[in-house]
Chains A and B, each alone.
Chain A
Amino acid sequence: MLQTLWDSRVNCIAVILFAVGFATLLLHRNLFKKILGLNIMDTASCLLLTSLGYIEGRTAPIIVDGVTDVQRYGNPLPAGLVLTGIVVSVSVTAVMLALTVRLYERYHTLDLDEIYMLARQEEGEK
């Protein structure tokens, strides 16, 4: 079993990073670190997806010299999917950062629990 895991070490690393990012996003209290966890999680998914397209000994799927032999090139489809994944990751990071900036300006803390308490106080006063 360890031998199989060592052979697919890229996949293992991707999956470990995914779990780390997932736990950080879910359970960390600091908003900025949640965003970093989100980025790690998304990048790890993209890494796993890219590694599915790699074939040993073959080159990138850009046709060279008009030779279209399928034995010479890697799989182009995962690369296309990863392009989409990266754009999605950038978009959600931008939105989360904008939300963090607004919350920090209002409550002067990045801790989600404290912000919640302060927001409750604010609403209770109204």
Chain B
Amino acid sequence: MSFIANLPLFCIVASLVCSVISSVLNGKLARWLSMALSLAVAVCSLLVLGMVWQNGEPLTYLMGHFPHPWGNEIRLGILESFFSFVFAAVMFLCMQGAKIALTQDLEAGKRQFYFVMTDLIQAALLVLAYTNDIFTGYVFIEICTLASCGILMIRQTGRAILASVRYMIFSLIGSGLFLLGVTILYGITGHLLLPSLHEAAAELWHTGDYRIPLTSSICLITVGLAIKSGLFPFHYWMPDTYGCATPCSSAILSGLVSKGYIFFLLKVIFSGFGTEVFYGSGVQNVLFVFGICGMIFGSIGAIQENDIFRMLANSSAAQIGYVYLGIGISPEAGVIGALFHILTHAVTKPVLFLSASRLSDTAGGSKRFKDLQGSGYAFPLAGFAFSLGALSMIGIPMTMGFMSKYLLAVAGLEATFKAVPTLLALALSTILNTFYFARTIIRLYTPGTPLSSAAPWRAQASFGLSAICFSLLNLGAGISASPLIALLRHGLEFFGKVG
């Protein structure tokens, strides 16, 4: 086994150790450490991806001296390492782009705690991507929940603390249901490692024993993770939470944390239950219906908002609906569309939040649309980044958003009964998305009353690097998406293969 196979272990342990060390450093050092960590994790994940691609099959790495089903394991596969790379890179770019906002929003003596929490989120995302055990996933889901709450409440305004309470309540409901589902699953199979669960669940499905507990554990686990990632009708915490938090936190939460939970759900579906059992139980139809409702109602909510952050938050709820639509359509083409949309959203939503915060800074800190009129001229780079992100969310060709909608439509056409609802929902939600995003772009570029002077150079530089990277990723993957889709397809084949 080459040395590169040890890198995920080192990345996980490094994230945990950095989070502990950051608590004794001052704010600036903690920020550098956190950003260096994310960059290192991104590079290591790329190396692991290269190694697994060359090997041609996923590698199981023992965490301890004992193989499954007795000891813990992590699984190094194509999708796992690729998504770890994307999550780490996006986290680095978020922290880079929000440098000024972080200095403004965080209280001086408590800045290092913010980076403690981001390191813990980084560790949790790594483990959720790589783990081969459902209970380890639960423990790190709890770390992710508490750390996400931490980055929300760091702002310490009354509204932010109220939003964190709401977020915690919904998250804990999701965790409780997930734990109950894992308990019932353990009771009927006796296993916690995903490969062993796969065999046991397939056997139970064929013999018909314990059919009701198996179905209820599938429901509980799926509903638990869906609540945590914000599927309709459990997205009500999103507008408050993203609206009141510091922009870096909103970017990390919407772009990374909810996607981490969805990726873990896909892992459990493919490697844990197996597509035969999951898609045979009928739960995917519920996800399909709620995905469509999320797409429509999220967009309607966004149209009604007066505040740019709340509008983006409602838009996030709609985009999560797209992902669940993809999962609900079919296990091959639909899930490819869902995975591609996860990438689109992870690359687009953070830059929308970060640019919106820069634009609202030029408007004197106000988030209302009428105050943002003309701010596209005051800070051209932020205006450009926001417009490109908005076009991607609408689904204009040459952006990633177009490719993900195309993949979802193609997947929908292949399914027999779901074709018409899918296409109708995609069309309707595209129209709704256009309505509120185009309205915002027009407002940004309508000359308005003279605003405060253009942003200082320092803000431009730190934000500019991350905005340019996000925009290049967006355009690059949008224009030449085939290598990416081939990678996802290849990775998905191995996702389902166990042993």
Residues of chain A having any CB pair with chain B under 8 Å? 18, 21-22, 25-26, 31, 34, 38, 41-42, 45, 48-49, 52, 77-78, 81, 84-85, 88, 91-92, 95-96, 99-100, 102-103, 106-107, 112, 115-116, 118-119, 122-123
In the assembled complex, how far is the CB of residue B140 from the closest CB belonging to chain A, in whole angstroms? 11
Which residues of B in the span 148-166 have a Cβ within 8 Å of any Cβ on A? 149, 153, 158-159, 161-162, 164-165
Q: Are B169 and A25 in contact (CB under 8 A)?
A: yes
Q: Which residues of B contact A21 (CB under 8 A)?
A: 176
B438 on the A face (CB < 8 A): no
Choice from A77, A85, A92, A107 contacting B168 with Cβ under 8 Å? A92
Q: Which of B164, B179, B192 has the most chain A CB within a 10 Å cutoff?
A: B179
Write out, one digit per residue, whether chain B residues 384-400 have a CB within 8 A of any chain A CB (1) or not (0): 00000000000000000
Q: Are A41 and B153 in contact (CB under 8 A)?
A: no
Q: Are A25 and B173 in contact (CB under 8 A)?
A: yes
> Are A48 and B183 CB-contacts (below 8 A) given A25-B173, A88-B139, A88-B142?
yes
Total interface residues on B, CB under 8 Å, equals 25
Q: Is the interface of B mostly helix, strand, loop or mixed?
A: helix
Q: Are B165 and A103 in contact (CB under 8 A)?
A: yes
Q: Are B169 and A26 in contact (CB under 8 A)?
A: yes
In the bound complex, what is the Cα–Cα distance between A38 and B142 (angstroms)? 14
In the assembled complex, how far is the CB of residue A102 from the closest CB belonging to chain B, in whole angstroms? 5
Choice from A22, A78, A84, A107 contacting B139 with Cβ under 8 Å? A84
Q: Are B179 and A85 in contact (CB under 8 A)?
A: yes
Q: Are A52 and B173 in contact (CB under 8 A)?
A: no
Q: Which residues of A contact B162 (CB under 8 A)?
A: 103, 115-116, 119
The residue on B at minimum CB distance from A88 is B142
Q: Are B187 and A42 in contact (CB under 8 A)?
A: no
B186 on the A face (CB < 8 A): yes
B40 on the A face (CB < 8 A): no
Choice from B149, B161, B183, B186 contacting A103 with Cβ under 8 Å? B161
Q: Which residues of B contact A25 (CB under 8 A)?
A: 169, 172-173, 176
Which residues of B in the span 284-308 have a Cβ within 8 Å of any Cβ on A? none
Choice from B142, B145, B159, B165 contacting A31 with Cβ under 8 Å? B165
In the bound complex, what is the Cα–Cα distance between A102 and B146 (angstroms)? 17
Q: Are A99 and B161 in contact (CB under 8 A)?
A: yes
Choice from A45, A115, A119 contacting B180 with Cβ under 8 Å? A45
> Are A96 and B176 CB-contacts (below 8 A) given A48-B183, A115-B162?
no
